Amino acid sequence: MTSDYPDLQTQLQNKINQKTKPLGALGRLETLALQIGLVFETLTPEIHNPTILIFAADHGIAQSGVSAYPQSVTAQMVLNFLNGGAAINVFARQHNLSLKIIDAGVNADLSDYDDLQHEKIGFGTQNFLDVPAMTLFDCEKALAIGGTIVRQQHKVGCNCVGFGEMGIGNTASAAVLMHLFTKIPLDECVGRGTGLNDEQLEHKRNLLQLAVEKYPTLKTPHEILMTLGGFEIAMMAGAYLQAAELKMLILVDGFVCGAALLVAQQFNPHILDYCVFSHVGSEHGHRALLNYLNAKPLLDLELRLGEGSGIALAYPLIQSAILFLNEMATFEEAGVDKA
């Protein structure tokens, strides 16, 4: 990470090493504390107004049977979020995390719900088996809106932001994006999503292979994203980029959020410096995606839910890293002999 304070990393490491413990005894928490201090450019980092933004949108590819659930579930789950009944609501309440739900492109009229942030690009993307998922204009609009949403959060004092998602069919989009950006074989990127059986999984693989073959000339990140992405993925990518520009701590959830981060990385190769990876999930491609990013997730709980649930569960570890850095006594303060 490039810092405006070139000696900060050394100072942070010295501060960590002076705590009353053997060198390195807090393991990954020490690495995490160092990273957070560098992100916030201070020896005494603090998190303010931590917020999870859930981007929801529908995907045209869902009409081709790549999910075990009907597309209508996207809108139904958005209402569940707004009513406080989903897993992410429970975990966010547990850890005092703010939640904001964004309609990036749900295939339903949700205009009557005041608690929902209305940023709908369209009523779901097109089926990319037939035509590109979205226009270049809509792709760029989604990227820009994602950045605006993060700026809004930053203006009200938020310096730590995580992203969740909801969208039936979005693991299909995430898988092809992962394949094209990483060059990892498609079969290693495609998973069961919401719980496909073996026959359905094979159908999903075959459809996505046809989609990749349909667009052999895709080169730029914009071309790949507009052709095979989703509105929520594009919006998340723009949000990641803005959060890094504002030097916020970025909390990364599961497979789909990781694919959106891959998109953002095409525009800012240093974005990973700001990212804490909450967990590795059981979706087939997630571990390979994290390995590609050289990312070390905090948890391995076999999650495959999305919604930002992994972020909420990992958040206490992030708090612990900051608290030990700021509050744990040094050898000198405690009168403890060093090794």
Mean of pLDDT values over 125-131: 98
- Which residue ranges make up each domain of the chain? 8-46+323-334, 51-317
Model confidence at 194, pLDDT cuts 50, 70, 90, reads confident
In the chain, the percentage of residues whose pLDDT exceeds 70 is 98
Quick one: which H or E segment has residue 118? strand 117-118
Does residue 40 register a pLDDT over 90? Answer: yes
| Residue 4 pLDDT | 61
327 is catalytic: no
Q: What is the pLDDT of residues 221-243, one digit of tens each?
A: 999 999 999 999 999 999 999 99
| Residue 3 pLDDT | 55
| Residue 5 pLDDT | 66
Interatomic CA distance for residues 17 and 33, integer angstroms: 12
Alpha-carbon torsion 252, 254, 257, 260, what sign?
positive
Q: Do the Cβ atoms of 55 and 145 come closer than 8 Å?
A: no
Please, what CATH class does the domain formed by 51-317 belong to? alpha beta
8-46+323-334 shares its CATH topology with 51-317: no
Q: Which CATH code, of 3.10.310.40, 3.10.20.600, 1.25.40.10, 1.10.1610.10, is assigned to 8-46+323-334?
A: 1.10.1610.10
Q: Which one is catalytic: 307, 327, 332, 333?
A: 307
Interatomic CA distance for residues 157 and 141, integer angstroms: 25
3-state DSSP assignment of residue 103: strand
